[in-house]
Chain A
Amino acid sequence: MNNAVMILMYMPFIGAVLAYVLGKAKKELAFWVAEVVGGILFLASLVIFFKYSDSPIDITLPWIKYGDIEIPMKIYIDHLSIVMLLIATGLGFLDIHFAHDYMGEDPDQPRYYAKVLFFIGGMILLVITKDLIGAFVGWEFMGLASYLLISFWYYKHSAASAGMQAFLYTRFGDIFILAAIAILFYYAGTIDLIKLNEMANTGELNKTVALVAALFIFMGAIGKSGQFPLYPWLMNAMEGPTTVSALIHGATMVNSGIYIVARLFDFFSYTDALYVVANVAALSAFIGATSALVQKEIKKILAYSTMSHLSIAFVGLGVGSLAAGMLHLVNHAIFKALLFLSAGAVIYIAHHQKDAWKLGGLIKTAPFVALFMAMGSLSLAGVPPFSGYFSKEMVVAAAWEWGNGFTKTFVTIAALLSIAYITRLWILIFLGEPRHEEIGGSVHKPSNLWMRLPLGILAFTTLFISIWQSDIIHYIVGDEVVEPHVAGLAAFMLTAMLIIFLIVVGLYVKGLNLLYKIGSHHFVQTIHQILFNGYYVEAMISWISKNIVVGAIAASARWFDTYVIDYVVNKTVDMTKWVYNIFKRGHTGQIGSYMGQFVLGVAIIVILILIIIKGL
């Protein structure tokens, strides 16, 4: 089993190098290396899953020892890690598989597969390490990989900017983790995640310090998992290839924030930081869900839905139900990967047309894709018997049972709205007539092996995983799970969802004209604008960084440097010139004036001597 762990740890990076090097020699090899490595990784995860005995795998490797400080590299694999591993490697593998066609025409495939493997490696590293530094390493690896993948088509302005934005936003969160590491290292004496939980349970930690550390770690999670206010990068990240979006949103990166909170769940509950988590997440869920309602691009709708659903998972954690949060994370990962890959298939079919309003009627050309996407959508919407239903229901119930008014209101709204935007999306893509001339004519045919198969697997999974919902919960959390029960909630939710569903279907299938009419109203337009732009959070952050950080602080530093410090240094030259001009007056070249100076000098000496004599 240790071999499997080592494979998981090193294989992705070796694979990344191999994929690049071999891919440079022969382009197809890049894909095959990635495919094989992805497969091996998934197999290794499965091996661990099946061979796992009762006690967690705990390996300590030496890393740094400096001064009085020792920082080992610790590996720790328990049920939580295994679930995350299965998600990361399984979905990662399917994603690589899917890319065969989707990225088939791209000349830069070696680069692509190398980065993808690196990305998966980062996620694996995150979930198998025991201490915060190891987690931070994986965390940052993903930050780098996402940066490189989002700006994969670096020659496009938008992609390059989106990559930069993704990196900086997540980095903003990450430095808080770095700070938390330092604080915990000294004040708690450990950065071992398991130990921290234990210490929290025994109450050894100083509560204030722990709260600061927990909030700092949550800042990192906010950055990575796209919570308010650091979410705009998640939407702009859609500039990358769609397979990358699937990877980021389904398999890897955005889950990491939830993972770290779940991993430190006891620590977070001990410090009352969960209260903050729940509230921030509820707000984010609401923002995501409402913004998703009005987006045009397929991928942006999905991106906002990711944000909203991650927040729902966070709410689950935040109100104190680890089970609900993690379950939703697992389910979300699967159906979101499915949705993104289906979206990828749609985009592939439609010649990279991403605007949902310009698609339409694709059900005729791609019925299977439509079916799979519908299954994903239903799961996302939370329709039984799809898996999404169970977890979402559980989170909402938990929020009703343990959350405060703000949390429960917002998370319920967000949960209900998901059916609205996803139905809207599906209808716009697949029903009606093609709204764009390009779509009418030739389309790419999705191949069975490379596109439909992974979609099918995912659709199948998202449906049938419903059977094992409670097993998953027990697997992750243990035997004692307090399941929330709110009487009548399920009925209320389902009814509300049905109503919303009918309204959306009505509007988008039959009542487009009505929709346009409503849309043209001034007030609705304003709201539309606000929602469309994600509540202008991005604009605000850009304004702050542009005008305050660069325009005010950096510019004044520059001013100070140029006109005070360097000015003084350079002015010494003028100063010497000035002194020179004064002294020069004494050097007339005439012997007479020299004699005068001579007398002056003698006088000075004599006067000095006389003063001294006086003093004697």
Chain B
Amino acid sequence: MVAVDIIFAPIVFSALVYFFTRGAEQFAKYIALGWFIVLFIIALSWYHQLPEDGWLFLGNYLSVPQFGFELTLQIDALSVAMLLLTAALLILVVFTSWNEKKQGAYFSLLIMFSGPIFGVFMTTNVLWFFMFWELTLVPMLFLVGIWGEENRIYAAIKFFLYTHVFAMFMFVGFYLLYKQTGYWDLTLIKETALVTPALIWWLMFIGFAAKLPVFPFHTWLPDAHVQAPSSISVLLAGVLLKMGAYGLIRFTVELMPITTMHFAPWMLGFGLATTFFAGFLAIYERHIKKMVAYSSISHMGLVVVAISTMTYDGLSAALYEMIGHALVISPLFLIAGWLHHKTHTWYMDEMGGIMKKAPYASAIFILAGMAALGLPGTMGFVGELTIIISAVKAYGWWIAVIALAGLISAGYIIWSVRRAIHGPMSPVVEKADFSMSLPEKFALAVYAFLIVYFGVNPQPIFDLANQAFSWLGGM
């Protein structure tokens, strides 16, 4: 019963939290923190219960046999990886938004968000998957729209509409899938030895591509990420984008391998285009948070490349990079947003010399930046290395051009450090007061630790990946 509760309880619970903490808003964050820790522990216990291969069955609810529609909850290693990541990021988000205004509402929305996002990764029923997928947008709409920066409303509505519109393509794809197989359940569909028409594949791909986001469906992301409060950018980049990659693995690779094999070159093309296009955009960008946002897109392009290989090792690399991307890009977003709050400017060339006044944040920024450009000893390197090895194995030597992504990312990261962190102190920085609260420092330290820890010792994540994709072993 736990399984279904942790999806639906927070949705109901969040309203209660809101109304009960109206007098004492600061309690909301402790409730949220406690709840997210509980989520993490539950996810961890599932991790230990996972069978050697296949699914851990968690329950079956709300059955509608006539429509093959029921809330089937079962998880495998891939889902568990995503659940652990989500829970961990949620915990850290509480710390990084410790001093957020209107806390009652803010943390209730976060609690509310935790329900559907867990649902997305836990259910194998396609229709429920879609329902949770859409539902995650609602708290995000408010979190971006109310707590965001100056242009927040435009960004929130663009984000909501854009992803909603593209989800509709995916939804038609799901419909056609059901029509063809007669099942809503992934595991059952998989057994029907599906030969899917190109139409279904493309409809789904577009849906996931917009979420990932893949060039040219990416324009919602820079706006949403920039305007969102930094902690929410973390969730957007760390969790919401992962939904797209997760869907891509679950629905295209696992469900219709033959069709995907057929369209893998397209996927590869989209992935490469995303990586390079976004990389160049990041180089051109003066706006610090936008630069980080484009960097985020660029890295997700690599994930698409890895997924398109459709091999055991390629998908493992993709999973690693998904987690790595979440942990690496988050501190960058946090610090970018934090710098904006302190200096009141977005532009890197107006900052400069921040190292002197805020050495801690600068050090973490450099560390995370190094991870973003793939420096060994960090998660970024392992991700990039494993992806490039798998890609060469799948596509031949020419794909080694994706190593260039490492140069492009070095370009924007180092240049941004040069402009914002190093250099003589600018007047803007001189005036600013760079104090950072303890919880924020703590969260950043945790990110830094995780980046390095999993960069040096990546095997735990690969163990999960091996478990998740072992069925591809023979291919």
Contact = CB atoms under 8 A, between A and B. Distances in A.
A and B interact physically: yes
A554 B382 contact: no
Interface residues of A, number: 57
B389 interface: yes
Interface in B313-330: 313-317, 320
A534 B170 CA distance: 58
A66 B383 CA distance: 11
Contacts of A63: 458-459
Contacts of A209: 397
B421 A154 contact: yes
Given A140-B381, A157-B424, A185-B392, A65 B375 contact: no
Contacts of A182: 388-389, 391-392, 397, 399-400, 403
A212 interface: yes
B424 A155 contact: yes
B400 A183 contact: yes
Contact of A175 (B277, B403, B415): B403
A147 B422 CA distance: 12
Contact of A557 (B284, B320, B400): B284
A92 interface: no
A187 B397 CA distance: 8
Contacts of A553: 280
B424 A156 contact: yes
B103 interface: no
Contact of A64 (B386, B397, B407): B386
Nearest to A147: B414
Contacts of A171: 373, 406-407, 410, 414
A136 interface: yes
B318 to A, nearest CB: 11
A549 interface: yes
A147 B417 CA distance: 11
A322 interface: no
B197 interface: no
B364 interface: no
A376 interface: no
A482 interface: no
Contact of B410 (A68, A154, A163, A167): A167
A63 B373 CA distance: 21
Given A154-B422, A155-B353, A66 B397 contact: no
A156 B389 CA distance: 40
B314 A557 contact: no
A136 B376 contact: yes
A174 B385 CA distance: 12
Interface in B432-475: 458-459, 462, 465-466, 469, 472-473
B389 A164 contact: no
Given A154-B423, A155-B424, 16 more contacts: A64-B459, A67-B312, A69-B393, A140-B375, A156-B424, A160-B422, A167-B410, A172-B407, A178-B403, A185-B392, A186-B397, A212-B397, A550-B284, A554-B283, A557-B281, A566-B219
Interface of B: 158, 162, 216, 218-220, 277, 280-281, 283-285, 311-317, 320, 353, 355-356, 366, 370, 373-377, 381-382, 384-386, 388-393, 397, 399-401, 403-404, 406-407, 410-411, 414-415, 417-418, 421-425, 458-459, 462, 465-466, 469, 472-473
Interface of A: 62-69, 71, 133, 136-137, 140-141, 143-144, 147-148, 151, 154-157, 159-161, 163-164, 167-168, 171-172, 174-176, 178-183, 185-187, 209, 212, 549-550, 553-555, 557-558, 561, 565-566, 569
